[in-house]
Amino acid sequence: MILEEMYRAGTRTPNASQIQQITAHLSFYGKIEGKNVFYWFQNHKARDRQKLRRKIYKQLQQQQLFHHHQLNHHFLHSESTSAASPTLHQQLACYTNSTPAHININIPQAGVEEASSQLINYTWKIDQLQERLEMEKTMMRMYGRDNWMMMVDVGPPPSPYCSSSTGTTGRPLKTLELFPITATNLKEECTATSSKHLQNSNPTN
Amino acid sequence: MILEEMYRAGTRTPNASQIQQITAHLSFYGKIEGKNVFYWFQNHKARDRQKLRRKIYKQLQQQQLFHHHQLNHHFLHSESTSAASPTLHQQLACYTNSTPAHININIPQAGVEEASSQLINYTWKIDQLQERLEMEKTMMRMYGRDNWMMMVDVGPPPSPYCSSSTGTTGRPLKTLELFPITATNLKEECTATSSKHLQNSNPTN
DNA sequence: GCAAATTAATGATTTATTCAAG
DNA sequence: CTTGAATAAATCATTAATTTGC
């Protein structure tokens, strides 16, 4: 109960001293070690995230079903969806504790709901025909990566299903850099062994 | 998934145009640059190679154990094993851009272990890790990652359920210094702290 | 009811991924 | 190209809960 309470209060990945403290508190009730606390938080966070993933996945399925039947427009902008899951991104955000800055993305005022929905629609229209289990596993894997989660398009979606099979360049993709642009990065870029391959791929850096 | 598929299909070191192409393909799902693809292949190849190295090393160990225990008895089993994975040096070939003939080591029926040894020595020299790999495997990550290792209780607990109802501070929480340095220390620690689980789980590994 | 079988939950461990630095 | 560190994901192993055939 105590750990649950702490988790609910926001503790996700306690550091050494925090773990020590928690362990000291809990040791009043019985033998316990720091690693137990550490594992507990690891597992709890992971399984909480897993639950959320499944939830999102189900939502996705629902939405895709909906879209499949009603190919209308602007469903994503309906207030119901936004209000129904307004904390989608916040729910995700709580899992990243003190992560590097490049993950703590503040999606501008465009709205996280649209972003998430779009993410879903863009990323996962691909396979909904696969077998359920395989699908779920794949989903898990893709969802698990917060990085991918955040590499989301921002901006008003012209249409949920962008059918432009041209693919590469058409979209206004406003996202954050995957790599922080730093001097080291530049240097590494230039000193890479196969840097010649990269010259035309990334001229900006 | 796409990159994995390409890797599985044989792509190891894509050139600039390939990278461009892949990047264009992947950019449909989010922002990505050529260097990401480049780095991905670099790392994936390296770590795949590493995995193979360890696998071979383990196989070697196993077979040596096998030979040590069952000399000249049903050696065909070993051969079947080698036949079960006859692509040992085919697996190697994929790492080299050009596969010259000197890799075509004739695996003699005499023994797979020699072949493996040769393989190891010929192709990569295994980074002089051969004697350290065992230790590395067993406790490679234990040293670096065990934040909780330094806060584990020391000494036999006087009573599992200490009746000190005075509060939290009544119990002196002895902690270790940073890292217990020797393997024996670590082993003792592990077997002492989490008693039965480790012992039971050991033979599986 | 009820014991065997199956499934869910959970602690612990291992493996994989990512970034940073050398 | 390598390695270290952080940590997420996957997996293992055991316990508990639940279902099922009788």
| pLDDT tens for each residue of B108-164 | 333 444 444 444 443 344 343 433 443 333 333 333 333 344 433 333 333 333 333
- Check: CB of residue A115 under 8 Å from CB of residue A89: yes
Instruction: Tell me which residues from 87 to 126 on chain A have a beta carbon below 7 angstroms from nucleic acid strand C.
Output: 100, 102
Residue A100 CA to C19 C1' — how many Å? 9
If one compares B184 and B56, the residue with the highest pLDDT of the two is B56
Chain B residues in contact with A175 (beta carbon < 8 A): 30-31
Query: Would you say the C-beta of B128 is within 7 Å of strand D?
Result: no
Does A17 have pLDDT greater than 80? yes
- Chain centroid, CA A141 distance in Å: 11
Does A132 have pLDDT greater than 50? no
Query: Would you say the C-beta of A145 is within 7 Å of strand D?
Result: yes
Q: What is the pLDDT of residue A189?
A: 32
| Token code pair at residue B197 | 């689980």
Q: What is the pLDDT of residue A16?
A: 80
Query: Would you say the C-beta of A99 is within 7 Å of strand D?
Result: yes
CA distance A27 to chain B (A): 8
Residue B11 CA to C5 C1' — how many Å? 47
Q: What is the pLDDT of residue A187?
A: 32
Query: Would you say the C-beta of B198 is within 7 Å of strand C?
Result: yes
Q: What is the pLDDT of residues A41-94, one digit of tens each?
A: 988 998 888 888 777 766 666 665 665 555 554 444 444 443 444 344 555 555
Cβ neighbours of B172 (radius 10 Å): 7
Residue A67 CA to C17 C1' — how many Å? 34
Does A144 have pLDDT greater than 80? no
Q: What is the pLDDT of residue A67?
A: 59
* Among chain A residues, CA nearest to B25: A168
Q: What is the pLDDT of residue B104?
A: 34
In Å, how far are A152, A159, B37, B97 from A178, measured between CA atoms?
12, 26, 12, 29
Residues A156, A82: Cα–Cα separation, whole Å:
14
Q: What is the pLDDT of residue A91?
A: 56
Q: What is the pLDDT of residue B197?
A: 34
Beta-carbon separation of B35 and A168 below 8 A: no
pTM of the model: 0.41
Does A40 have pLDDT greater than 90? yes
Query: Would you say the C-beta of A188 is within 7 Å of strand C?
Result: yes
Q: What is the pLDDT of residue B61?
A: 57
Q: What is the pLDDT of residue A128?
A: 31
Does B44 have pLDDT greater than 50? yes
Q: What is the pLDDT of residue A66?
A: 63
| Token code pair at residue A113 | 């709901």
List all residues 6 or more positions away from A90 whose beta carbon is below 8 Å from its beta carbon.
Answer: A112
Residues A132, B11: Cα–Cα separation, whole Å:
29
Greatest mean pLDDT among A31-45, A106-120, A168-182: A31-45
| DSSP secondary structure, B28-75, as one string | TTS---HHHHHHHHHHHHHHHHHHHHHHHHHHHHHHHHHHHHSTTS-H
* Among chain B residues, CA nearest to A174: B31
Chain A interface mutation, best of B31, B165, B179, highest count of A Cβ atoms under 10 Å: B31
Chain A residues in contact with B34 (beta carbon < 8 A): 197-198, 200-202
- Check: CB of residue A57 under 8 Å from CB of residue A63: no
Q: What is the pLDDT of residue B161?
A: 37
Closest partner residue to B24 among A122, A168, A202, by Cβ?
Answer: A168
Residues A164, B5: Cα–Cα separation, whole Å:
23
| pLDDT band at residue B64 under the 50/70/90 scheme | low
Residue A35 CA to C8 C1' — how many Å? 24
Query: Would you say the C-beta of B85 is within 7 Å of strand D?
Result: no
The 8 Å CB, 24+ separation contacts for B135-140 are B135/B183, B137/B54, B139/B183, B139/B186
